[in-house]
């Protein structure tokens, strides 16, 4: 079973990227029921457990659900521009109208009306009911007080979680997400629009007539749209898809280069390489197993960008690395000679 998004390669080329804290929050919450979350996500979850009001944390956890559960889409309003900040995000969630709240709750929770336009996507109504989950008590309690009360409480919970768990790391997260977007934009320019999908997720592919996503239900996007909306996320595993007429289909996908968010560097260079070219340049060369800009290398190593730039210059003049401009950044990668020196 699959979702099909008919579009031409030209239309795919009009795909846009955006950044929002909402996917980071919901994806991190889903890790509460998964083994071995990434180190930066573990850090966020610990902060939230210690500092977020228990009632707000329970509500947000109940809405987010497990790793495979549907989270109501009103928690992740689509950014109108290149990015959305936390203030704009919580205002949009709090202002969600009653019909939208009802529709999103109906999609994902048992005990709610079964929408014919949703159930038709599944093999049977029984399969759809099994896919849904029970309506949590925290949600039903607020809903009895009014749809606006639920929306405002959800917005307050998102704000509290961001402020306690994510705010201090958000500039670094933004840098990772921006680096990912720059990388994919550069690939699209060099290799064509279909290169966007090459390494997003194995479940997502181009079949010559459009985008196809493997899912436990069938669906076709049959309204006019202007390409995809792609949102990178540092805490996401796999892709999350959502679409509502008339908005562009939205895909949240795992960003590249998230190791730099884990904390102090864990990369160790081979002793003989450190002796040959020095500790700093050996570590940088090892970190470039995955190409990246100076900003990511600085975060991963703990050194200043000035220090990293200085040593990258030496490595470049030695023919061990090369830099290529992508937008406003220069992305460095090892040359074949650099790979041979590291032993890759």
Residue 259 lies in a domain: no
Q: What is the pLDDT of residues 36-70, one digit of tens each?
A: 889 899 999 999 999 999 999 999 999 987 766 78
The pLDDT of residue 85 is 94
Tell me: do 269 and 246 sit in the same domain: no
Tell me: do 314 and 212 sit in the same domain: no
Which residues neighbour 13 within 8 Å (Cβ) at sequence distance 6 or greater? 188, 192, 193, 227
**Average pLDDT estimate for 109-126:** 86
Selection from 143, 159, 153, 133 nearest residue 59 by Cα? 153
Domain that holds residue 59: 2-254
**Residues 56/269, Cβ–Cβ less than 8 Å:** no
Q: What is the pLDDT of residues 262-276, one digit of tens each?
A: 765 556 677 888 888
Rounded distance between C-alpha atoms, residue 260 and residue 291, angstroms: 13
Element (H, E) at 326: strand 321-326
Tell me: do 212 and 306 sit in the same domain: no
Tell me: do 237 and 286 sit in the same domain: no
Q: What DSSP letter does each residue of 239-295 carry, written as one string?
A: -EEE--TTSPPEEEEEPS-GGGGSSS------HHHHHHH-HHHHHHHHHTTS-EEHH
88-102, 197-211, 234-248: which is most confident: 88-102
Element (H, E) at 49: helix 39-51
Rounded distance between C-alpha atoms, residue 314 and residue 320, angstroms: 9
DSSP secondary structure code for residue 78 in this structure: P
Which of 254, 282, 301 lies at the terminal end of a domain, its last residue? 254
Tell me: do 39 and 114 sit in the same domain: yes
pTM for the structure as a whole: 0.76
Tell me: do 12 and 115 sit in the same domain: yes
The pLDDT of residue 300 is 78
Which of 201, 225, 254 lies at the terminal end of a domain, its last residue? 254
Pairing relationship of beta strands 292-293 and 210-214 according to DSSP bridges: unpaired
Tell me: do 111 and 238 sit in the same domain: yes
More confident residue, 312 or 34: 312
The pLDDT of residue 67 is 61
CATH number for the domain that contains residue 326: 1.10.10.10
For the chain, how many structural domains are there in total?
2
Tell me: do 214 and 321 sit in the same domain: no
Tell me: do 51 and 167 sit in the same domain: yes
Q: What is the pLDDT of residues 184-229, one digit of tens each?
A: 888 888 888 777 777 777 778 788 788 887 776 677 777 667 788 9
More confident residue, 244 or 258: 258
Tell me: do 65 and 121 sit in the same domain: yes
The pLDDT of residue 344 is 58
Element (H, E) at 62: helix 54-64
**Average pLDDT estimate for 122-140:** 89
Rounded distance between C-alpha atoms, residue 1 and residue 124, angstroms: 13
17-26, 171-180, 285-294: which is most confident: 17-26
Which of 196, 220, 254 lies at the terminal end of a domain, its last residue? 254
The pLDDT of residue 266 is 54
Tell me: do 64 and 195 sit in the same domain: yes
The pLDDT of residue 268 is 66
Tell me: do 165 and 279 sit in the same domain: no
The pLDDT of residue 96 is 96
More confident residue, 226 or 113: 113
Q: What is the pLDDT of residues 158-182, one digit of tens each?
A: 999 999 999 999 988 998 898 889 8
């Amino acid at each position: 079973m699959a979702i099909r998004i008919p579009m031409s390669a030209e239309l795919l080329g009009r795909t846009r990227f955006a950044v929002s804290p909402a996917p980071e929050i919901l994806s991190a919450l889903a890790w509460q029921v998964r083994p071995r979350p990434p180190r930066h996500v573990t850090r966020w979850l610990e902060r939230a457990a210690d500092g977020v009001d228990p009632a707000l944390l329970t509500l947000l956890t109940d809405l987010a659900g497990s790793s495979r559960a549907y989270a109501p889409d009103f928690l992740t309003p689509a950014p109108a521009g290149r990015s959305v900040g936390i203030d704009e995000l919580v205002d949009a969630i709090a202002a969600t109208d009653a019909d939208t709240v009802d529709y999103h709750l109906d999609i994902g929770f048992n005990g709610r009306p079964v929408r014919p336009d949703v159930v038709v996507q599944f093999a049977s109504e029984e399969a759809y009911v099994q896919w849904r989950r029970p309506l949590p008590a925290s949600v039903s309690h607020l809903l009895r007080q009014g749809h606006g009360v639920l929306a405002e409480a959800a917005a307050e919970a998102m704000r509290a979680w961001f402020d306690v768990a994510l705010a201090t790391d958000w500039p670094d997260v933004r840098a990772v997400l921006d680096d990912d977007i720059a990388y994919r934009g550069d690939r699209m320019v060099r290799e064509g629009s279909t290169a966007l999908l090459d390494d997003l997720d194995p479940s997502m592919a181009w079949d010559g007539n459009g985008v196809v996503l493997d899912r436990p239900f069938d669906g076709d996007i049959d309204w006019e749209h202007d390409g995809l909306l792609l949102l990178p996320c540092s805490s996401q595993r796999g892709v999350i898809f959502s679409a509502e007429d008339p908005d562009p289909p939205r895909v949240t996908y795992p960003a590249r280069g998230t190791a730099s968010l884990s904390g102090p560097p864990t990369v160790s260079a081979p002793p003989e390489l450190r002796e040959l070219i020095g500790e700093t340049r050996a570590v940088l060369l090892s970190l470039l197993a995955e190409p990246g800009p100076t900003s990511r290398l600085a975060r991963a190593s703990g050194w200043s960008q000035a220090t990293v730039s200085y040593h990258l210059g030496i490595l470049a003049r030695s023919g061990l690395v090369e830099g290529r401009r992508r937008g406003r950044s220069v992305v460095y990668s090892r040359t074949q000679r650099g790979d041979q020196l590291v032993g890759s």
